[in-house]
Amino acid sequence: MLAGLDDAQREAATALDGPVRIVACAGAGKTRTITRRIAYGCRTGAWDARGVLAVTFSVKAAAEMRARLGTLDVGDDVTAATFHSAALHQLRRVWPDVCGAPFPHVTDRPQELTARALRRTVNPEGLDPTQTGLPAVRDVLAEINWCKVQLIAPDDYGRVCAATHRQPPIGLEPDRFADVYTAYEQEKSATGHIDFNDILLMACHVIDDDADAARAIRRSIRWLTVDEYQDVSPLQHRLLTRWLGDNRNICVVGDPAQTIYSFAGASSYDLLHFTEEFSPVAADISLRTDYRSTPQIVGYANRILAASPEREHYLRLESGRGAGVRVVRTQYDDDEQEAQGIAARIARLVAQGVSASDIAVLTRINAQQQHVCAALRAQGLRFRVRRDASWQSSPLADETQEQAALLEAKGIVKDSAAVTVSTIHASKGLEFPHVFIVGCSEGLLPYGSPAPGEALEEERRLMYVGVTRAEDTLHLSFAARQSSDTGARRRPSRFLV
């Protein structure tokens, strides 16, 4: 179980009691380490596998964890799931004892509910598509979700906006957005539905308000592991503290340099302050060796973070690999030439025997992918597109999707060879021998060229995540202009260090 682990990984895998924090850089083998830790605890008899819960954020990550635990002969009894899947299972188990009504349905149409709420409150006549069209619906639903994960009720929204200078979406005043938020909740209740975040809120309420249900839930959570702890929201943090009660057997794993979902309510605060909240901790371990990337790529990643005012919170990476090739930077005349140049480079790699599935083109936003896909198509190259939202990155999936994710994690089902075209956000957790990051210019990466502050730091961390997806080669590029007939020149990204 411990064979092949380095000293730091072994220390983490054998720290079985009390609060444990593992700060793991990109490519440090954190999933391997925490699954070995779980297996070691169970197979030595220190833990009862039926009382082990390991939670992560996506269906794909949970499936990978289950697959690895299965190879260690503890997969059948250990629960490895997303926050939402674990909480939903717990609620359904105790629901008959806490409520006489049927368990509500989890909606798969939150946009439809949001659209109805908008029509009721903002524009009953439906005359202004800018406030009831699909883009508006998406923006409003994102803000409702943000409020929920931040534990902000409709009545508190106006005060939060006043205190933080937050601007509601689609030009709404804070009070009017609060009305939309309230109407959304009413639409759900009227149809007997809950949404994803309601699952976590309800689990918190049940544990807080029903002692018997709380005991039943906590009996199944004697050893808790939380992956990607830098992405925990206030709502998820509240739930995990309810799961624990007086129990101190918690292990968290994360990397503050990979916090890239602040816009959705994630924060590295709880990871950074774990040793204070759970003092005294049993172990505080750093995994700083990147076994994925060459020294050249690791050095580039380190330089990106070295310019950050928050660099004291970030690990300085060390490569566990031998020397590789230099990181390539290329300037093109315009976006179309950039896409064509990258596609030509990829075609040469494939002609040399590189599998297309070993190559990824990463973009900051979805809109950049059109030129890339057209250029790959012109070269006769197969490709798959990963955008910021898919069921694999979702906190919940149906049974068929869960099974597909597990089969893929076990290597039983593999996609045919194709270049991956992905946003950097959607590539998190993935790795490729050859990575191309396009659009490395001010305005695109960092997006909007934000002033110094948290928005810029989020963009810096996003660039770091993109760079550390690469194993063997990394190619960074930008276009001097959007198109040949556009006069405005772009400046290279400040992250091209």
Provide the CA 51 distance to its chain's centre, in angstroms.
26
Q: Does 30 appear as a known binding residue?
A: yes
Q: Of 428, 467, 427, 435, which is closest to residue 346 (Cα–Cα)?
A: 435
Place of tokens 């929201």: 233
| Residue 259 annotated as part of some ligand binding site | no
Query: Cα–Cα distance between 404 and 63 in angstroms, integer?
Result: 9
353 is in an annotated binding site: no
Residue 111 Cα distances to 16, 59, 180, angstroms: 43, 21, 13
Q: Are 27 and 290 in contact, with CB atoms under 8 Å apart? A: yes
Q: Could you write out the DSSP letters of every residue in 304-367?
A: HHHT-TTGGGSPPPEE-S---PPPEEEEEEEHHHHHHHHHHHHHHHHHTT--GGGEEEEESSGG
For tokens 């918190």, the residue is 204
Decide if 7 contacts 15 (C-beta within 8 A): no
CB–CB of 390/396 below 8 Å? Answer: no
**Through-space distance between the first and last CA atoms of the chain, rounded to whole angstroms:** 41
Dist. CA 284–CA 191, nearest whole Å = 47
Whether residue 436 contacts residue 362, with contact meaning beta carbons closer than 8 Å, is answered with: yes
Long-range (24+ apart) CB contacts under 8 A made by 451-460 are: 452/309, 454/262, 457/308, 457/309, 457/310, 458/259, 458/260, 458/262, 458/263, 459/495, 460/304, 460/305, 460/307, 460/308, 460/495
**Hey, which residues does 478 pair with through a beta bridge?**
331
Tokens of 290: 């990147």
Q: Which of 357, 414, 413, 421 is nearest to 388 (CA)?
A: 421
28 annotated to a ligand binding site: yes
Instruction: Please give the Cα distance from 478 to 495 (Å, whole number).
Output: 12
CA 475/CA 123 separation, integer angstroms: 48
User: 466: closest CA among 427, 432, 433?
Assistant: 427
CA distance 331 to 185: 50
Residue 232 and residue 261: Cα distance in Å, rounded? Answer: 10
Please tell me whether 299 is known to bind a ligand.
no
As a whole number of angstroms, the distance between CA 44 and CA 76 comes to 16
Q: Known binder of ligand: residue 24? A: yes
Residue stretches of the annotated binding site? 24-31
Residue stretches of the annotated binding site for ATP? 24-31
